């Protein structure tokens, strides 16, 4: 499963909005330019939170000569495939494009010529405000910066307090964390939950979710520090795969593929009690569980209190943009500390600009039982590893997700699923 930031409360695959412009799609509006105004096109995936937090409207108010035409694709995989076609042809890409963290290595290594160097724009002043690892990942060997960070994904465990209470498990986050000193403890708690679980409720959503959250704590995933492909020899990957498969075989998962309509529905029907929870999942849960879920959710740390990171993204400007100066000014504003803090308060995307950290430290969330989400995710972020990414992260992650689904839904033996996965990726990647 590729690292994705899902769209909140979106039924359609793509949405598009604009201030005074209603068409959807990439490319700049020359007619607007002819009238003295500028239309900036912005294409993203999932929920970056700008639309939800009213930031596009606010930017237009601050800059009446700028109209923003925005669209978002729910599935990052579909978004990225379409973007590659546009970049290859040099036509159709928007002035501002989102780049998922799992793609940034590929962009830096293979596509740098297709993106604007942000060090040569007005956005350059903010590069120093990011954690060194965040912007280093978006920097080419010759120093070109192809993306400015939007958020990171410090990861905990979100859970339904009412379901845990009904099963006789602690619903207080500190007490729950005390019972989870390891991933084995997490699985053992799942077995306890299953013994007294409310009808129709599983311990967690999916085997893939377990895999994702375990790997969020690791520094090396599919590549080592030298860029060598190690996915099939990295014991951490195999351990995470086995743990997800184990949970599936023990009936601890709801067998809901993540980011599917059925998975979305599971948030409102109470199909699962716990879920891997990057900070951006906060907004997703609210959107899918709705008002009926308010006060029923809480969040705690990962087993053992370790730090984890799942997801995060960048904003970049394709070299084909006709409005690079204005696009850079918009990126600089959207990624400034105040705007990142606003997005966190609205949808839970945790800032990647370090100057925004103190602005969100005291944030609490009534929907999540008053949880101090600013401190919880802030502490997790401080403990999270600096992860190594590679150009084929997305390909490998998606294939691992498919393999785990075969165990979960088709009763394929885990060893057989792993061997099939290894053969397929060997043929695909060499």
Supply the pLDDT for residue 4: 46
Contact predicate 109/339, CB 8 Å: no
Average pLDDT over residues 235-243: 97
In the predicted model, what is the mean pLDDT of the chain? 90
Q: What percent of the chain has pLDDT over 70?
A: 92
pLDDT interval class at 393 (50, 70, 90): confident
Lowest mean pLDDT among 26-35, 205-214, 407-416: 26-35
- Closest-CA residue to 284 (of 314, 258, 255): 258
- Looking only at the bridges linking them, the beta strands covering 350-351 and 272-278 are unpaired
Per-residue pLDDT tens over the stretch 20-53: 333 334 444 444 445 569 999 999 998 899 999 9
Q: pTM of the prediction? A: 0.82
Contacts of 222 (CB under 8 A, 6+ apart): 229, 230, 231, 234, 237, 390, 392, 393, 396, 397
Q: Is the pLDDT at 8 greater than 70, yes or no?
A: no
- Closest-CA residue to 150 (of 320, 347, 291, 380): 347
Supply the pLDDT for residue 391: 82
> Ranked by mean pLDDT, which of 36-40, 167-171, 353-357, 398-402 comes out on top?
167-171
Neighbours of 398 (CB within 10 A): 15
Supply the pLDDT for residue 389: 84
Average pLDDT over residues 97-111: 92
- Hey, is 32 helix, strand or coil? helix
The span from the CA of 127 to the CA of 136, in Å, is 10
The span from the CA of 71 to the CA of 44, in Å, is 6
What are phi and psi for residue 360, nearest 5 degrees? -110, 0
The span from the CA of 422 to the CA of 168, in Å, is 41
Per-residue pLDDT tens over the stretch 43-82: 999 889 999 999 999 999 999 999 999 999 988 889 999 9
Neighbours of 132 (CB within 10 A): 10
Per-residue pLDDT tens over the stretch 188-198: 999 999 999 99
């Amino acid at each position: 499963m590729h690292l994705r930031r899902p769209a909140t409360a979106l039924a359609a695959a793509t949405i598009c909005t604009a201030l005074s412009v209603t068409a959807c799609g990439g490319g700049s509006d020359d007619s607007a330019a002819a009238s003295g105004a500028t239309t900036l096109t912005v294409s993203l995936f999932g929920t970056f939170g700008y639309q939800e937090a009213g930031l596009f409207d606010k930017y237009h108010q601050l800059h009446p000569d700028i109209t923003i035409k925005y669209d978002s694709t729910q599935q990052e995989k579909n978004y990225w495939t379409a973007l590659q076609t546009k970049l290859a042809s040099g036509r159709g890409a928007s002035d501002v494009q989102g780049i998922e963290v799992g793609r940034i290595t590929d962009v830096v290594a293979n596509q740098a010529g297709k993106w604007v160097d942000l060090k040569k724009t007005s956005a350059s002043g903010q590069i120093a405000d990011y954690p060194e690892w965040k912007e280093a990942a978006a920097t080419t060997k010759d120093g070109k910066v192809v993306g400015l960070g939007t958020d990171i994904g410090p990861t905990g465990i979100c859970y339904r307090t009412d379901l845990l209470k009904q099963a006789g498990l602690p619903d207080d986050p500190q007490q729950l964390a005390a019972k989870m000193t390891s991933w084995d403890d997490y699985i053992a708690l799942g077995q306890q939950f299953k013994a007294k679980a409310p009808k129709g409720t599983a311990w967690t959503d999916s085997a893939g979710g377990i895999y994702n959250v375990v790997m969020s704590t690791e520094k090396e995933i599919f590549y080592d520090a030298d860029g060598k492909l190690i996915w099939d020899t990295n014991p951490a990957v195999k351990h995470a795969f086995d743990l997800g498969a184990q949970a599936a075989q023990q009936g601890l998962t709801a067998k809901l593929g993540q980011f599917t309509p059925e998975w979305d529905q599971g948030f409102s029907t109470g199909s699962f009690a716990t879920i891997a929870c990057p900070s951006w999942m906060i907004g997703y849960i609210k959107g899918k569980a709705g008002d009926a879920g308010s006060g029923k959710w809480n969040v705690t740390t990962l087993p053992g209190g370790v730090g984890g990171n799942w997801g995060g993204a960048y904003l970049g400007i394709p070299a084909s943009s006709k409005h690079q100066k204005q696009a850079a000014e918009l990126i600089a504003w959207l990624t400034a500390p105040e705007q990142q803090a606003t997005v966190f308060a609205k949808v839970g995307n945790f800032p990647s600009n370090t100057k925004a950290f103190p602005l969100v430290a005291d944030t609490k969330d009534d929907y999540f039982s008053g949880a101090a989400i600013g401190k919880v995710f802030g502490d997790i972020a401080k403990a999270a590893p600096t992860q190594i990414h590679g150009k084929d992260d997305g390909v490998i992650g998606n294939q691992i997700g498919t393999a785990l689904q075969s165990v979960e839904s088709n009763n394929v033996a885990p060893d057989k699923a792993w061997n099939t996965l290894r053969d397929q990726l060997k043929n695909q990647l060499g």
